[in-house]
Amino acid sequence: MALRPQFSLINSEFNDFLFASVGEEKTGLQLTVLSALTRLDLDPWAEAGRLSELPKEAASRILGATIALLPQGQWKASDLPAIAARLVTSLPKRSAPALQSLRSEYIWSGNSKSGITLWLGCVALAAVAIFSLWHLEVNPSREPVPATLSSTSQ
């Protein structure tokens, strides 16, 4: 399955943020934001998108708290606010019209259409069930008269 354009690594507006270094791990390797978010079982692109919609201060606090969930690398816990503030500066700032267009693009994407179809199917099924119950109350079935009884007596 191909990634949607906004999540493509080639064209991603989040590349600067996702490939920025959080710091050096105890092993001596650089830890990127992409790796850090993935290790925490977060979708890096979704998290980057969410953070970019927030004011820089709020995004920095949230990112700092997120990084704090990782095993400590060559950085100190007291360094986290500065690390998060540095990383947040590489997030693109989104404007309200851009956000609205992204939301409307998602609403009409293939994934959302299947959800709408499922919802409409449930509504139709509920309508049939309600009509059936109403029809049974309006036209209650009567028990048949046994065929062995006759109206004449001997």
| Residue 51 located in a structural domain | yes
My answer on whether 90 and 113 are in the same domain is no
- Same-domain pairing of 11 and 85: yes
Long-range CB contacts (within 8 A, 24+) of 21-28: 22/67, 22/70, 22/73, 22/75, 22/83, 22/87, 23/73, 23/74, 23/75, 23/79, 23/83, 24/73, 24/74, 24/75, 25/73, 25/74, 26/71, 26/72, 26/73, 26/74
Same domain, 59 and 24: yes
Looking at residue 126, its pLDDT comes to 76
How far apart are alpha carbons 90 and 92 in whole angstroms? Answer: 6
Residue 153 lies in a domain: no
Is the confidence at residue 2, as pLDDT, over 50?
yes
Give the CA radius of gyration of the chain. 30
Residue 84 has pLDDT above 70, yes or no: yes
Which pLDDT band, with edges at 50, 70 and 90, does 72 fall under?
Answer: confident
pLDDT on residue 97: 46
Express each pLDDT in 14-51 by its tens digit. Answer: 889 999 999 988 888 999 999 999 999 999 989 999 99
pTM above 0.75, yes or no: no
Are 85 and 114 in a shared domain? Answer: no
133 inside domain: yes
Do 28 and 83 fall within a single domain? yes
Task: Verify that 35 and 90 share a domain, yes or no.
Answer: yes
Domain for residue 86, yes or no? yes
Do 52 and 20 have their domain in common? yes
Q: How many domains does the chain have?
A: 2
One domain for residues 42 and 67: yes
Is 22 among the domain residues?
Answer: yes
Say how far apart CA 96 and CA 102 lie, in whole Å: 10
Please indicate, yes or no, if residue 128 is contained in any of the structural domains: yes
Give the 3-state secondary structure of residue 20.
coil
Separation CA 4–CA 6 (nearest Å): 6
The reply to whether 30 and 67 lie within a common domain is: yes
What is the residue range of 90's domain?
7-95
In tens, the pLDDT along 88-127 reads: 999 987 654 445 545 544 544 455 555 667 667 777 777 7
